[in-house]
């Protein structure tokens, strides 16, 4: 088991680790009044990156449009050479990294 402490790990590292490894939450809620069930529900929640989900064998819902702009943007992601966070390649080259502020273009004087 991995134990993360807030002072030892930043939010970025924590989210990266959760999305990389994945988290599964299995819950069951039951509310009854005098022996009469008013509400009963179960939930199976998985939080992970799409890559981790695909590696563990989870399928995407039927009818998922992989040609949508959001999916195309994911396919064109590139790592920032300074902070290592993913950004859209075109935006990274044009505007720089939105995470750390790195810019590959020299400053205009």
Whether residue 16 is found in the same domain as residue 53: yes
* Residue numbers of the domain that contains 94: 61-109
Determine the Cα–Cα distance for residues 109 and 105; give it in Å rounded to an integer: 12
SS3 64: coil
pLDDT digits (tens, 9 = 90+) for 28-52: 999 988 888 888 999 988 888 877 7
Determine the Cα–Cα distance for residues 21 and 14; give it in Å rounded to an integer: 11
pTM: 0.40
SS3 47: strand
Residue with tokens 């939010």: 11
Whether residue 66 is found in the same domain as residue 46: no
For range 63-88, the mean pLDDT: 79
Whether residue 107 is found in the same domain as residue 80: yes
């Amino acid at each position: 088991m991995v134990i993360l402490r807030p002072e030892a790990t930043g939010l970025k590292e924590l989210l990266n680790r959760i999305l990389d490894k994945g988290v599964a939450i299995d819950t069951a809620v039951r509310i009854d009044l005098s022996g009469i069930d008013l509400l009963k529900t179960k939930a199976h929640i998985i939080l992970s990156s799409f890559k981790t989900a695909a590696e563990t064998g989870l399928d995407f819902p039927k009818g998922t449009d992989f040609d949508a702009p959001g999916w195309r943007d994911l396919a064109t992601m590139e790592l920032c050479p300074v902070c290592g966070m993913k950004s859209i390649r075109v935006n990274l080259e044009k505007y720089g990294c939105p995470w750390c502020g790195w810019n590959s273009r020299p400053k205009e004087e």
